């Protein structure tokens, strides 16, 4: 058996994880601690042998959402593909999709696993750190049998072979049994010995009776010979008596035949032809009589019948229905299987609608446009939304840079205003320092011009953002409502997965 694909709906840290087309041979999963290697390993073991409902072990609940469970796609030794699906909380928690399309359960899964139980599988074929840390788990009888069978190469369970030999031995002989074969044979031997002793005691009586029987047989044979001779004579006399009347008729017919004139020509096989014509004439007369009787019956029925004019007008439709009655009957035979298929399809449709969302039903699904132009429109819209999202990200980055610049300029402006106030105070009090004040003003005015330039650039950037926002509003207003709803649901799902 080979694992081809792994699909996890929700198990531990994994949610909606799919690993397809696993290669043949040895496959190694590597990763750092807490990357999910043990989670993936436990998921495979529980897909084969069930998800426990006890809290004594790690249940690996779906931390990232999704339904607790998943599917494994495997290939058996003959190349047939099987799909094993399990989900927690169901009474019959395993569902096996067979290669012919049918759905199986535990029996089919056990056959696929070669009737290996959980203990054998987890200690020989899929053992982890817990099994490697303790060799006491290998003392189980079933595990010892599997190891011994693998070592000898016979491919047969030793415990099963010993049980089979013990069962055959019990079926052959038991010390106090009555049904085993050897016990029955010994009982028959005892009965035969008793009968033999009885036969030996009656041997003399048998010899005397046998001699008497031979004498009687000789007398019977002599009497039979005499009886046969008498019976032959009696049969001859009875035959003569039985043909006497026929002989008289034959003699009279012979005399009458000699008195008839001799014919010059007679048809070839005329007697046989005459016999066939008489038989044919009799058959025709019987047919005419039968048809006449049916005709009389039909005349009586015709008198008692009153034709339905409305039904006569529908003659063509009635004949058409009569021609299609065989097809109707055959379709009626296949109706139960078709109804079963319909129920299965409805159940599958309900599951798919639940996956789409609570707002979806058959009516909304029928209204959904599934034409090729609509699909192309959705693809183009998705691309447009992705481009818009990229543009929004770039705009947000630029806006953040502008805000950082504005904050920096405001801080510089505050410093500049503080310096300017200090300078003006000193200029009013100290006229002697007017020259220095002019130098400070000359130094500060370029900073003020840079601030005004930055503010103009920020205004232009805000105008560009406003225009992009108006374009986004126009694009979203042109999207149909159901596509907006579909996009909103997919975006919400994407954001939850990203979190």
**Under a CB-based contact definition with an 8 Å cutoff, are residues 444 and 420 in contact?**
yes
Distance CA 51, CA 60 (A): 9
Q: Tell me the C-alpha to C-alpha distance, in Å, between residue 324 and each of 239, 310, 313, 331, 476.
A: 67, 21, 19, 11, 56
Q: Choose the most confident range, by mean pLDDT, from 147-151, 413-417, 442-446.
A: 413-417
pLDDT digits over 356-375, tens only? 777 777 777 777 777 788 77
In whole angstroms, give the CA distance from residue 422 to residue 418.
Answer: 6
Exposed/middle/buried for 73, CB within 10 Å: 0-12, 13-18, 19+? Answer: buried
Does residue 488 surpass a pLDDT of 60? no
pLDDT of residue 444: 42
Task: Please report the pLDDT score of residue 96 as a whole number.
Answer: 87
Please determine, looking at this structure, whether the domain spanning 2-115 carries the CATH number 3.40.50.300. Answer: yes
CB distance 28 to 11 below 8 Å:
no
d(CA 382, CA 376): 10
| Whether pLDDT at 188 is above 70 | yes
CA–CA–CA angle 335, 338, 342 (5° rounding): 135
pLDDT > 70? residue 304? yes
The three-class DSSP label of residue 332 is helix
pLDDT of 79 higher than 50: yes
Taking residues 25-36, what's their average pLDDT?
Answer: 87
Q: Binning pLDDT at 50, 70 and 90, where does residue 458 land?
A: low
pLDDT tens figures, 61-70:
888 888 888 9
pLDDT grade, residue 439 (50/70/90)?
very low
64 in Cβ contact with 82 (< 8 Å): no
Q: For the chain, which residues make up each domain, given as ranges? A: 2-115, 335-367, 372-498
Residues 444-456: pLDDT tens digits? 445 445 555 655 6
| Between 37 and 91, the higher pLDDT residue | 37
pLDDT > 70: what percent of the chain?
73
Contact 101, 46 (CB under 8 A): no
Q: Are 104 and 98 spatial neighbours (Cβ–Cβ below 8 Å)?
A: yes
* Cα–Cα distance for residue pair 483/378, rounded to 1 Å: 8
Question: What does 412-466 look like in DSSP terms, one character per residue?
Answer: HHHHHHHHHHHHHHHHHH-GGGHHHHHHHHHHHHHHHHHHHHHHHHHHHHHHHHH
Q: Provide the pLDDT for residue 413.
A: 73
Most confident of 92-101, 106-115, 279-288, 398-407: 279-288
Q: What is the pLDDT of residue 443?
A: 39
Phi, psi of 196 (to 5 degrees): -60, -40
Q: Which residue has the higher pLDDT, 456 or 139?
A: 456
Neighbouring C-beta atoms of residue 97, cutoff 10 Å? 17
Across the chain, what does the average pLDDT equal? Answer: 76
């Amino acid at each position: 058996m080979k694992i081809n694909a792994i699909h996890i709906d929700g198990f531990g840290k994994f949610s909606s994880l799919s690993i397809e087309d696993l290669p043949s041979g040895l496959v190694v999963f590597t990763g750092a601690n807490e990357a999910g290697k043990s989670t993936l390993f436990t998921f495979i073991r529980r897909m084969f042998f069930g998800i426990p409902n006890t809290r004594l072990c790690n249940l690996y609940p779906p931390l990232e959402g999704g339904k607790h469970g998943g599917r494994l796609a495997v290939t058996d030794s003959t190349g047939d593909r099987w799909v094993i699906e399990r989900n927690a909380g169901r009474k019959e928690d395993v569902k096996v999709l067979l290669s012919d399309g049918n759905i199986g359960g535990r029996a089919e899964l056990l056959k696929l696993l070669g009737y290996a139980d959980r203990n054998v599988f987890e200690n020989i074929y899929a053992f982890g750190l817990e099994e490697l840390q303790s060799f006491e788990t290998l003392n189980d009888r079933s595990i010892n049998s599997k190891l011994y069978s693998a070592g000898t190469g016979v491919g047969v369970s030793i415990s099963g072979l010993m049980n089979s030999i013990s069962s055959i031995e019990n079926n052959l002989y038991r010390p106090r049994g009555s049904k085993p074969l050897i016990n029955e044979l010994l009982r028959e031997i005892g009965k035969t010995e008793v009968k033999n002793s009885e036969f030996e005691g009656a041997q003399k009586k048998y010899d005397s009776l046998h001699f008497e029987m031979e004498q009687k047989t000789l007398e019977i044979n002599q009497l039979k010979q005499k009886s046969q001779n008498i019976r032959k004579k009696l049969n001859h006399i009875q035959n003569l008596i039985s043909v006497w009347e026929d002989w008289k008729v034959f003699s009279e017919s012979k005399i009458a035949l000699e008195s008839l004139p001799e014919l010059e020509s007679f048809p070839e096989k005329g007697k046989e032809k005459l016999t066939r014509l008489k038989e044919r004439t009799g058959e025709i007369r019987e047919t005419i009589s039968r048809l006449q009787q049916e005709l009389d019956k039909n005349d009586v029925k015709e008198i008692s019948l009153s034709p339905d004019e409305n039904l006569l007008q529908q003659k063509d439709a009635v004949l058409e229905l009569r021609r299609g009655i065989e097809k109707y009957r055959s379709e009626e035979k296949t109706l139960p299987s078709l109804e079963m298929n319909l129920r299965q399809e409805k159940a599958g449709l309900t599951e798919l609608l639940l996956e789409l969302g609570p707002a979806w039903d058959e009516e909304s699904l029928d209204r959904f446009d599934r034409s090729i132009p609509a699909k192309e429109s959705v693809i183009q819209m998705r691309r447009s939304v992705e481009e818009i999202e990229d543009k929004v990200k770039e705009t947000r980055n630029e806006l953040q840079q502008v805000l950082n610049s504005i904050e920096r300029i405001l801080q510089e402006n505050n410093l500049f205003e503080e310096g300017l106030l200090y300078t003006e105070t000193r200029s009013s009090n100290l006229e002697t320092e007017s020259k220095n004040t002019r130098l400070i003003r000359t130094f500060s005015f370029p900073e003020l011009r840079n601030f005004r330039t930055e503010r103009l650039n920020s205004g232009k950037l805000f105008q560009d953002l406003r225009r992009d926002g108006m374009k986004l509003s126009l694009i979203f207003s042109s999207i149909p409502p159901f596509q907006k709803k579909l996009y909103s649901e997919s975006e919400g799902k994407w954001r939850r997965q990203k979190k």
